[in-house]
Structure 1
Amino acid sequence: MDRPPSSLLSIASIVVSMTAVAIGNGMMLAYVPFVLTRLGAPAWVPGAAVTAIAFGGLVGCVIAGPLIRRVGHARAFSCSMALVILSALLVSLGVHPILWIIARGLYGIAANTNFIITQSWLNHASENHWRGKAMALFYMAYVIGLGAGAWLFGRIPAEGNLAPIITVFFTAVAILPIGLTRLPTPPAPAKVSVDIPMVWRNSPVALMGVLASGGLSMVVQGFTPIYAANAVSQQDVAALMFVMQFGLLFIQYPMGAFSDRIDRRVVLIATCLLVVAAGMAALTVSFANLVLLMLVFALFAGAVETVYSIANAHANDRTDPADFVPLASTMLIAWSASATVVPMLVTVLTPFFGQRTFIYAAMAVALLYAGFVLYRLRKRSEEVSESREGFEWKTAQIPNAGALCESEAKPE
């Protein structure tokens, strides 16, 4: 059945909802590690809270599809929002490290479920000629929301439970636009189809790039506030997290546009070297020069996010459109697995090597991936003329989950 004509304005309810969610999430991403670090929780606890988010995201990848098939997109969205609220309420009960780790795991489940629901809905609601703009608007609004949440954290007292209460407020607000939307509900989603051999055959560089970006993103975004909380004030931590969210605006788009003109693998190597350079600068610049350090970490975060977006574009370049659904499914699972394992290793190693362990880990992952890409470049000379999809503005904080819920009903 033909859908009625739609426009960019028609998806406003989804974008507004996820922006409200992002404000609360941005606040908690700064609040939880800051409080755990400042109140002297065991050294492994803040890192475990970061790992719990990623592990919860992996669980969300598994349960989201069956949940949406059972109750539909709108009700599933409300359920995931309920998990975000429960997570914040657990945090509001006081500083109980194990309880907070469980709470961050619940948030991780909800976060990936939210992304799967909203990206599927956006894909269904948008038309081909403006789908790219819709996705770019969605990603940008979410990142701005994360930055706004971090900025807001710097304006409230860290003592007490005001931060989780504000998170509950914004999450409750996020339910309203989806509850009142007139957008048609997408059809029942397809089963999640994971096909690692297919993705490896099509592009080993892309698969390894998504694995690298999962670890890089969670390590840099998750451990930076832990690192900063030991050295600067709450307001400075909030400002650092705020600036980091905008690093990808100034790094990702130029590098992505460049990758549309030359071999994306060359740009991936250059991006990895940029990650290493930013890591070395982060080790060199002290918190006494906070403004410069903020710029360094903005560069660090922007380069990390760029690895994901270019690897994703490279995968789509080399995959038949008929395989886009298993491609997205496999890459999301790979991203989530890496985002769990790498922070876990950093958490284990931090007591032995200090708070800068996450910087060394990010540099090591970037160097290993750059070496792999260089090896592939030398090993296999690929065709000069190839079909290439345009670069899309993406963030590794919002893995491409939309295809997990593509419709089973295909036009005959």
Structure 2
Amino acid sequence: MTGETQRASSLFSITAIVVSMTLVAIGNGIMLAYVPYVLARVGAPEWTPGAAVTMIAFGGLVGCVIAGPVIRRVGHARAFSCSLALVIIAAFLVALGIHPLLWVFARGVYGVAGNFNFIIAQSWLNHASDNRWRGKAMSFFYMAYVLGLGVGAWLFGRMPADGNLAPLVTIFVTTVALLPIGLTRLPTPPPPARVNVDFAMAWRNSPVALIGVLAAGGLSMVVQGFTPIYAATHDVGQADVALLMFVMQFGLLFVQYPLGTLSDRVDRRVVLIGTCLLIAGTAVAALFVSFGAMAVLMIVFALWAGGVESVYSIANAHANDRTDPDDFVPLASTLLVAWSAAATLVPLAVTALTPVFGDKTFIYAVMAVALLYAAFVAHRLRLRETVPPEARETFEIRSAQVPNAGALVEGEKAPE
């Protein structure tokens, strides 16, 4: 195969993966808005909307554990088909009717499939991409997936919430997502390596990065999961809830990119402190802005979500700055497990505390996490030297909703 033919094949393979995962994201965006919105409005027990959010993250943690062994046993293609089958099963359970406990279980099943999808797709992208443009390919994947979530939320606003059309549409787009993978001759990645989680190494290299990923896991799941619940309990209409969820995804582009670029030029820890102050400030604004001023509220929540996304990406870059390249795979594995654990525990705590402190508990929680992390970074800033810009890894756009899962199953290095 000539170099030009191989390049075209790689680009085609990457396009197939990105298109497939974007379709999955559209279905996920529909369900991320639909499930909490309906549960918050049908008189379900008060804890069930939050429990559904928590179960997504818990399922993701389970997905981290089982993905490697399953892929080693059946390969990437079959494992990808199985993960999409789990998405379809989860949507089918929701389509059966409003049964709160069944819906909570279904979101857990989706959580398993969600991280499973990310692990397979990111591993495949790493293998299919040329080293010269792998970073651009991964950034394109992150942006396409997150914007797909926004499109899914927008579509939810244009379908009835009182029937089962939303989960049926999710089943349809997820089924279509199988076609790009099934109809292309994707190069098979090498057998996955053993997962190597090393918290001691991650802490030794960068406490700021490890705690930052923990903070980002909790922040992202709380902001993305509890916002539609909060809006629904304030009698916000379905179309406005969907538009709010759609607008929030654009924080990835309009907030994360300038902050990430700045972090390439000055100490990333200083940018992390500023980002946490942005998160805390927008949280204060979220407490007081009225749902009657919907345009202002959407701007506040878009900035809020963008700040949360930025914590993950900048902390990830800071970790790579201080880690030997030979340790990148165990580092990524460790950070993913840390993210998943925090994304489970923080929403669980918010769910437990909401009956005591009210529907704004998630806003207080985000504010507290951001300020505590800012204080921790400020403390570490005084204790450790700055990495000069020329010694840093180049910043890449990453999403806290699509954690760096591919390293869990990385085998040999991708081809040059």
Q: Is the 8 A contact 2:267 2:387 kept in 1?
A: no
Which of 352, 360, 375 is matched with 2:356 structurally? 352
Q: What SS does structure 2 have at the residue aligned with 1:250?
A: helix
Q: Is the 8 A contact 1:210 1:311 kept in 2?
A: yes
What is the deviation of 1:406?
A: 1.0
Q: Is the 8 A contact 2:264 2:389 kept in 1?
A: no
Is it true that 1:392 corresponds to 2:413 in the alignment? no
Which of 90, 111, 115 is matched with 1:112 structurally? 115
Q: Which residue of 1 aligns with 2:290?
A: 286
1:277–1:181 CA distance, 2 compared to 1 (3 A) = same
Q: Which residue of 2 aligns with 1:197?
A: 200
1:410–1:389 CA distance, 2 compared to 1 (3 A) = closer
Which of 134, 149, 152 is matched with 1:131 structurally? 134
Q: Which residue of 2 aligns with 1:6?
A: 7
Q: Which residue of 1 aligns with 2:278?
A: 274
What is the deviation of 1:206?
A: 0.3
Q: Which residue of 1 aligns with 2:325?
A: 321
Can you list the C-alpha shifts for 1:112-169, whole angstroms capped at 9, x where unaligned? 0000000000000001111111111111111111011000000000011000000000
Distance in 1 (CA, whole Å) between partners of 2:188 and 2:278 is: 42
Q: Which residue of 2 aligns with 1:28?
A: 31
What is the deviation of 1:381?
A: 3.1
Q: Which residue of 2 aligns with 1:295?
A: 299
1:179–1:384 CA distance, 2 compared to 1 (3 A) = closer
- AA matched with 2:142: Y
- AA matched with 1:101: V
- 331-340 vs 175-184, which deviates more? 175-184
Distance in 2 (CA, whole Å) between partners of 1:276 and 1:286 is: 18
Q: Which residue of 2 aligns with 1:343?
A: 347
Q: Which residue of 2 aligns with 1:312?
A: 316
Is it true that 1:260 corresponds to 2:268 in the alignment? no
- AA matched with 1:271: T
Distance in 1 (CA, whole Å) between partners of 2:384 and 2:32 is: 42
Q: Which residue of 1 aligns with 2:183?
A: 180
1:385–1:226 CA distance, 2 compared to 1 (3 A) = closer
Distance in 1 (CA, whole Å) between partners of 2:2 and 2:121 is: 21
1:383–1:15 CA distance, 2 compared to 1 (3 A) = closer
Distance in 2 (CA, whole Å) between partners of 1:328 and 1:383 is: 20
Distance in 2 (CA, whole Å) between partners of 1:67 and 1:387 is: 38
> Where in structure 1 are there 5+ consecutive unaligned residues?
none
Q: Is the 8 A contact 1:6 1:125 kept in 2?
A: no
Distance in 1 (CA, whole Å) between partners of 2:72 and 2:175 is: 24
Distance in 2 (CA, whole Å) between partners of 1:383 and 1:265 is: 10
Distance in 1 (CA, whole Å) between partners of 2:218 and 2:413 is: 35
Q: Is the 8 A contact 1:264 1:314 kept in 2?
A: yes
Which of 78, 81, 86 is matched with 1:83 structurally? 86
What is the deviation of 1:33?
A: 0.2
Q: TM-score, normalised by structure 2?
A: 0.97
Can you list the C-alpha shifts for 1:345-374, whole angstroms capped at 9, x where unaligned? 000000111111001000100001000000
Is it true that 1:375 corresponds to 2:375 in the alignment? no
Distance in 2 (CA, whole Å) between partners of 1:10 and 1:97 is: 40
Q: Is the 8 A contact 2:266 2:389 kept in 1?
A: no
Distance in 2 (CA, whole Å) between partners of 1:385 and 1:145 is: 33
Distance in 2 (CA, whole Å) between partners of 1:38 and 1:382 is: 50
Q: Which residue of 1 aligns with 2:47?
A: 44
Distance in 2 (CA, whole Å) between partners of 1:381 and 1:189 is: 36
Distance in 2 (CA, whole Å) between partners of 1:410 and 1:117 is: 14
Distance in 1 (CA, whole Å) between partners of 2:226 and 2:391 is: 39
Q: Is the 8 A contact 1:189 1:406 kept in 2?
A: yes
Q: Is the 8 A contact 1:81 1:171 kept in 2?
A: yes
What is the deviation of 1:377?
A: 0.7
What is the deviation of 1:385?
A: 6.8
Matched pairs, number:
411
Q: Is the 8 A contact 1:268 1:307 kept in 2?
A: yes
- AA matched with 2:108: G
Q: Which residue of 2 aligns with 1:234?
A: 238
Distance in 1 (CA, whole Å) between partners of 2:142 and 2:244 is: 20
What is the deviation of 1:9?
A: 3.7
Can you list the C-alpha shifts for 1:259-301, whole angstroms capped at 9, x where unaligned? 0000000000000000000100101101010110011000000
1:363–1:159 CA distance, 2 compared to 1 (3 A) = same
Q: Is the 8 A contact 2:127 2:414 kept in 1?
A: no
Can you list the C-alpha shifts for 1:12-38, whole angstroms capped at 9, x where unaligned? 110110010000000000000000001
- AA matched with 2:310: T
What is the deviation of 1:10?
A: 3.4
Can you list the C-alpha shifts for 1:207-229, whole angstroms capped at 9, x where unaligned? 00000000000000000000001
Q: Is the 8 A contact 2:267 2:386 kept in 1?
A: no
Can you list the C-alpha shifts for 1:236-255, whole angstroms capped at 9, x where unaligned? 10000000011121000000
Q: What SS does structure 2 have at the residue aligned with 1:226?
A: helix
Distance in 1 (CA, whole Å) between partners of 2:387 and 2:402 is: 31
Q: What SS does structure 2 have at the residue aligned with 1:287?
A: coil
Distance in 2 (CA, whole Å) between partners of 1:409 and 1:151 is: 39
Q: TM-score, normalised by structure 1?
A: 0.97
Percent identity over the alignment? 73
- AA matched with 1:5: Q
Q: Which residue of 1 aligns with 2:170?
A: 167
